[in-house]
């Protein structure tokens, strides 16, 4: 593991008697990136997170987080964690919840006030610091959970479904917060079933199925090439020939498609069509979504497993 790596696993496995929860997880998470961890229910995601956090012990393979073996106490103090299911005592005030977790995390007492004020501001709960948790909506409790995960200035933050209880405004706020963490060099390990959210915030993703990573890479690499569809009328052959420099061209009725295409080229493509006498009625940039790619990969895995049996 290098200093540029936050998390690395090699054939990490977990077995509970006859049940294989994790078959052999191999992946690398660079420091300072937002890493999406995706997979269907039962794929081993929760087990993998427990092993990385030191909440369970592997039965095979190895892993390193922040340069230390899994479960290392000193490394765990540099990790923040938002579980998918959590609950705080309803009679506690938000500030009291954070103070209790400052103590649990070993944050020096002279830093509590500054830490609590900072994380409350980051998650937008400064005005509710003195309110009891029982009066919070699900979205506000989710924000408080994120605030707890950020105490102690962690270098790696595990977020398990951080936007599951939030409305569109809340999800946008969490996206902004994740970008803020990345800008400050924090590695974010994001486990979410909301693939649209993952696509918008993650630098890299790993898709896991049956306890193994089936693909890992940058979002742009996984989604493939971009395309553009343009509806054009009064379009002649001379103008068509001039578009060849932008990429392979196909025409169906009034619609022309160029794939692959650089996003920066789209204005020039439109200008070329207009200069050639064409009339542009619609422009539709596109490419496969992360959901499309996710489902396709799982179908391939299912077909491969069926072929083995």
Is 246 a member of any domain?
A: yes
User: DSSP letters along the chain, please?
Assistant: --TTEEEEEEEEEEEETTEEEEEEEEEEEETT-EEEEE--TTSSHHHHHHHHHTSS--SEEEEEETTEETT-HHHHTTEEEE-SS----TTSBHHHHHHHHHHHTT--GGGHHHHHHHHHHHTT-GGGTTSBGGG--HHHHHHHHHHHHTTT--SEEEEESTTTT--HHHHHHHHHHHHHHHHTT-EEEEE-S-HHHHHHH-SEEEEEETTEEEEEEEHHHHH---EEEEEEES--HHHHHHGGGGS-EEEETTEEEESS--GGGHHHHHHHHHHTT-EEEEEEEE---HHHHHHHHHHHHHHHHHHH-
Per-residue pLDDT at 276: 84
Per-residue pLDDT at 288: 64
The reply to whether 214 and 229 lie within a common domain is no
pLDDT above 90 for 195: no
pLDDT above 80 for 293: no
Is 148 a member of any domain?
A: yes
pLDDT above 70 for 225: no
Average pLDDT over residues 150-157: 95
Q: Whole domain around residue 214: which residue ranges?
A: 5-218
Is 76 a member of any domain?
A: yes
Number of domains comprising the chain: 2
Least confident of 13-17, 249-253, 286-290: 286-290
pLDDT above 90 for 294: no
The reply to whether 142 and 262 lie within a common domain is no
pLDDT above 80 for 260: no
**Confidence (pTM):** 0.80
In this predicted model, which residue has the larger pLDDT, 194 or 30?
30
Per-residue pLDDT at 220: 76
Is 171 a member of any domain?
A: yes
Decide which of 185, 200, 218 is a domain's last residue. 218
Which pLDDT tens digit goes with each residue over 158-172? 998 888 778 888 888
Is 306 a member of any domain?
A: no
Average pLDDT over residues 140-154: 93
Percentage, residues of the chain above pLDDT 70: 96
The reply to whether 117 and 197 lie within a common domain is yes
Which pLDDT tens digit goes with each residue over 77-107? 999 999 988 889 999 999 999 999 999 988 9
Decide which of 200, 218, 236 is a domain's last residue. 218
Per-residue pLDDT at 265: 86
Q: Residue 251 maps to which CATH number?
A: 3.30.70
- Average predicted confidence (pLDDT) for the chain: 88
Per-residue pLDDT at 2: 62
Per-residue pLDDT at 108: 93
The reply to whether 214 and 165 lie within a common domain is yes
């Amino acid at each position: 593991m290098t200093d540029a790596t936050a998390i690395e696993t090699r054939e990490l496995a977990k077995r509970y008697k006859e049940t294989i929860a994790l078959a052999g997880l191999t992946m690398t998470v660079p420091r300072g990136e937002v890493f999406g961890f995706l997979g269907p229910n039962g794929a081993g995601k929760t087990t993998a997170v427990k092993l990385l956090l030191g909440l369970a012990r592997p039965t095979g393979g190895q892993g390193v987080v922040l340069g230390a073996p899994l479960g290392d106490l000193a490394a765990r103090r540099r990790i923040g964690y938002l579980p998918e299911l959590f609950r705080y005592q309803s009679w506690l005030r938000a500030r009291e919840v954070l103070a209790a977790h400052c103590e649990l995390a070993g944050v020096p007492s002279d830093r509590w006030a500054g830490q609590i004020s900072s994380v409350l501001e980051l998650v937008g709960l400064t005005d509710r610091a003195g309110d009891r948790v029982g009066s919070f909506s699900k979205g506000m409790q989710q924000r408080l959970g994120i605030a707890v995960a950020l105490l102690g200035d962690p270098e790696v933050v595990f977020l398990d479904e951080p936007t599951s209880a939030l409305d569109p405004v809340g999800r946008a706020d969490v996206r902004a917060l994740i970008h803020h963490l990345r800008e400050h060099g924090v590695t974010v390990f994001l486990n979410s079933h909301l693939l649209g959210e993952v696509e918008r915030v993650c630098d890299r993703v790993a898709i896991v199925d049956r306890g193994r990573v089936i693909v890992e890479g940058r979002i742009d690499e996984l989604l493939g090439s971009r395309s553009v569809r343009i509806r054009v009328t009064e379009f002649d052959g001379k103008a068509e020939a001039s578009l060849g420099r932008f990429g392979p061209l196909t025409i169906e009725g009034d619609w022309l498609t160029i794939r692959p295409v650089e996003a920066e080229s789209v204005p020039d493509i439109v200008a070329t069509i207009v200069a050639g006498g064409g009339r542009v009625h619609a422009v539709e940039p596109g490419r496969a979504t992360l959901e499309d790619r996710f489902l396709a990969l799982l179908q391939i895995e299912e077909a491969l497993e069926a072929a083995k049996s």
